[in-house]
């Protein structure tokens, strides 16, 4: 061994410290800037929890009431902060209980690192107590996963995990750590990961493709932008705003893209998709250039692919090559980080207004208001509508709140009518459609953005999927506001049964408990509203509260969400009733 090598080895030893694998886990998290983690202890992860106990002043652990709640809380934290969320659980059922949240994070591109304990290395494959192959189980729904069997692996694997989770198109990573690796000691040294051979998270933009896109946009007579969550993940909100204002292009959003542009912006024409707005859906099949920014042409957006935007030149700005031409064939593909590609595009774009084209959207807006919106927000019937509740929340919050919705009718109503002034304000389960997402996600969101009002909008069915997380609210005193829109039904399924199954309401009517009494059992202030003259004051009281607050609003049992594109139909076949 040469002198230089000996010197380097000595320097490394001086920088390193001999610690257990369990303590190394904590030090890795701190090195990555983690300040909050969500989890549930158990035997196989107990050494890590023992070390965590010693670092309580540096790393806040939130004890959720279920491991699924830990993943959704980590998602809410990640979505509102832009940082990597962290969840931790034991082996066996603790690990498998994370899978739903991991799958949700994968399809919605949420950066998350999940840590699971595992039986000792010598027991792997022996069906030991609480052993399960979580690496095999989670492989289809993770961006990367790895099983650590030696303590020495911990620093490098954690560094890779955080880099992979947050780079390029974000996603969840799972690290499974055998119990022996947590106990064993080694010389710890941490170095952040900045590159991995053969992993190219963001393709380098091709300038000639950007020039092709600019030419198509400049020549367009009826251009339409549809943006998705890629704008938020890429922090390209200002570039989007500059583009639409310079070129005068109407811009519509997917539900995960909502809030990237202020709701009241004059060029924001609303939501596309199954329950989106009438104008952008119908006019998708009339535009001559369709500009897709950071969106993946999900089936709920496109409807029948055989009839989707066939007349249009399609420009697809996308970071993930796997999404290109997967559902919709693009005429021009611009690969790369959307912030970078839009910055390269903007100098090539000519100023325009497209006033006649905008009038087409306004005409359809008027039709939708008369046939749908007026009835949702200003009903003449006696019973309360879900839309009225969202309208009162807008009035009380001024459009500054973070709205966390679950899955179902209430989700579509919240996305349609909530007002947003700031990005990273609409949190919901998009691609997976996970009932039970909102309550724990709202906890994570409020912890990630304590200065902001966080309001969870939940249906009575979804609420009961993770209702136990009220215990997390009670223990942590996190001041989230929870609104349950109670129609005593699994509302979205019932709507489909009404429209397509001759009103055969098979297993969708709910016999619900006393939600207010349950909330009060967790020492959370609670109120129930069933009359219109009570609604505004109840919402104002909820928003004004400095503590957690639960509000149940009893709404019409058989109200439906319109517009609606029936499954498999064309976006042109959108129904208003």
Could you give the residue numbers annotated as active site? 67, 129-130, 179, 492
Give dist(CA 447, CA 438) in Å, integer.
14
Cα atoms in the 13 Å half-sphere on the side-chain side of 40? 20
| Closest of 44, 46, 185, 51 to residue 121, by C-alpha | 44
Task: Look at the alpha carbons of 488, 489, 495, 499 in this order and tell me if their dihedral is positive or negative.
Answer: negative
**In a 3-state reduction of DSSP, which class is residue 62?**
strand
**In a 3-state reduction of DSSP, which class is residue 115?**
strand
Task: Look at the alpha carbons of 373, 378, 380, 385 in this order and tell me if their dihedral is positive or negative.
Answer: positive
Cis status of the peptide bond prior to 563, with omega within 30 of 0: yes
Residue identified by tokens 């906890």 is 443
- The pair of structure tokens assigned to 74 is 């980590």
Distances (CA, A) of 265 to 223, 240, 244, 261: 17, 12, 10, 7
Q: What is the CA radius of gyration of the chain?
A: 25
Find residue 68's DSSP bridge partners.
none
> Are the C-beta atoms of 435 and 465 separated by less than 8 Å?
yes
- The pair of structure tokens assigned to 554 is 């009893």
Find residue 175's DSSP bridge partners.
115, 146
- The pair of structure tokens assigned to 430 is 């998009």
> Are the C-beta atoms of 155 and 28 separated by less than 8 Å?
yes
| Closest of 422, 12, 452, 26 to residue 241, by C-alpha | 422
Task: Kindly report the three-state secondary structure assignment for every residue of 157-222.
Answer: HHHHHHHHHHCCCCCEEEEEEEHHHHHCEEEECCCCCCCECCECCCCCCCHHHHHHHHHHHHHCCC
Distances (CA, A) of 210 to 206, 217, 316, 344: 7, 11, 11, 7
C-alpha of 345 from chain center: 28
**In a 3-state reduction of DSSP, which class is residue 527?**
strand
Q: How many residues make up the chain in this entry?
A: 577
Task: Determine which helix (DSSP H) or strand (DSSP E) holds 300, and give its type and residue range.
Answer: helix 299-302
Residue identified by tokens 């399609």 is 314
Q: Which DSSP string do the residues of 381-434 spell out, in sequence order? A: SSS--HHHHHHHHHHHHTT-SEEEE-SSHHHHHHHHH---SSSS-EE---SS--
Dmax (CA) of the chain: 88
C-alpha of 502 from chain center: 34
Contacts of residue 518, Cβ cutoff 8 Å, sequence gap at least 6: 467, 470
């Amino acid at each position: 061994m040469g002198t230089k090598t000996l010197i380097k080895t000595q320097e490394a030893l001086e920088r390193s410290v001999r610690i257990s694998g369990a303590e190394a886990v904590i030090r890795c998290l701190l090195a990555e800037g983690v300040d909050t983690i969500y989890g549930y202890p158990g035997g196989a992860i107990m050494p890590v929890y023992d070390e965590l106990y010693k670092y309580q002043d540096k790393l806040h652990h939130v004890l959720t009431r279920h491991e699924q709640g830990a993943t959704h809380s980590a998602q809410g934290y990640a979505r509102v902060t832009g940082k990597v969320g962290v969840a931790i659980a034991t082996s066996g059922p603790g690990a498998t209980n994370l899978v739903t949240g991991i799958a949700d994070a994968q399809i919605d591109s949420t950066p998350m690192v999940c840590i699971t304990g595992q039986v000792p290395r010598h027991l792997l494959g022996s069906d030991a107590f609480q052993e399960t192959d979580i690496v095999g189980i989670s492989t289809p729904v993770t961006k990367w996963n790895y099983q650590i069997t030696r303590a020495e692996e911990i620093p490098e694997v954690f560094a890779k995990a955080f880099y992979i989770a947050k780079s390029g198109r974000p996603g969840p990573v799972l690290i499974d750590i055998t119990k022996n690796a947590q106990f064993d000691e080694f010389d710890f040294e941490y170095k952040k990961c900045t590159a991995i051979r053969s992993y190219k998270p963001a393709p380098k933009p091709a300038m000639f493709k950007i020039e092709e896109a600019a030419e198509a946009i400049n020549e367009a007579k009826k251009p339409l932008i549809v943006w998705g969550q890629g704008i938020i993940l890429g922090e390209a909100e200002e570039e989007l705003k500059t583009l639409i204002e310079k070129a005068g292009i109407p811009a519509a959003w997917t539900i995960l893209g909502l809030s990237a542009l202020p709701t009241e912006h004059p060029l924001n024409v609303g939501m596309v998709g199954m329950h989106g707005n009438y104008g952008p859906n119908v006019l998708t099949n009339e535009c001559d250039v369709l500009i897709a920014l950071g969106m993946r042409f999900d089936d709920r957006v496109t409807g029948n692919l055989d009839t989707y935007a066939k007349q249009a030149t399609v420009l697809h700005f996308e970071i993930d090559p796997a999404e290109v031409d997967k559902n919709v064939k693009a005429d021009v593909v611009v690969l790369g980080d959307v912030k970078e590609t839009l910055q390269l595009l903007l100098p090539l774009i000519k100023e325009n207004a497209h006033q006649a084209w905008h009038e087409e959207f306004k005409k359809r807006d008027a039709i939708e208001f008369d046939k749908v919106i007026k009835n949702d927000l200003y009903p003449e019937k006696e019973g309360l509508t879900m839309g009225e509740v969202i309208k009162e929340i807008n009035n009380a919050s001024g459009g500054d709140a973070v709205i966390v919705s679950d899955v179902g009718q209430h989700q579509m109503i919240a996305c349609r009518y909530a007002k947003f002034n700031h990005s990273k304000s609409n949190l919901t389960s998009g691609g997976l459609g996970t009932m039970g997402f909102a309550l724990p996600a709202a906890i994570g969101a409020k912890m990630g953005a304590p200065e902001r009002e966080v309001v969870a909008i939940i249906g009575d069915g979804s609420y009961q999927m993770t209702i136990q997380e009220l215990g997390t609210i009670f223990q942590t005193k996190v001041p989230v506001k929870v609104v349950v829109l109670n129609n005593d039904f699994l509302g979205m399924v019932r709507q489909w049964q009404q429209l397509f199954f001759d009103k055969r309401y098979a297993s969708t009517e709910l016999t619900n408990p006393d939600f207010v009494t349950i909330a009060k059992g967790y020492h959370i202030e609670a109120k129930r509203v069933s009359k219109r003259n009570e609604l505004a004051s109840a919402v104002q009281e909820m928003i004004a509260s400095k503590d957690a607050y639960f509000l149940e609003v009893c709404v019409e049992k058989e109200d439906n969400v319109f517009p609606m594109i029936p499954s498999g139909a064309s976006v042109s076949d959108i129904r208003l009733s």
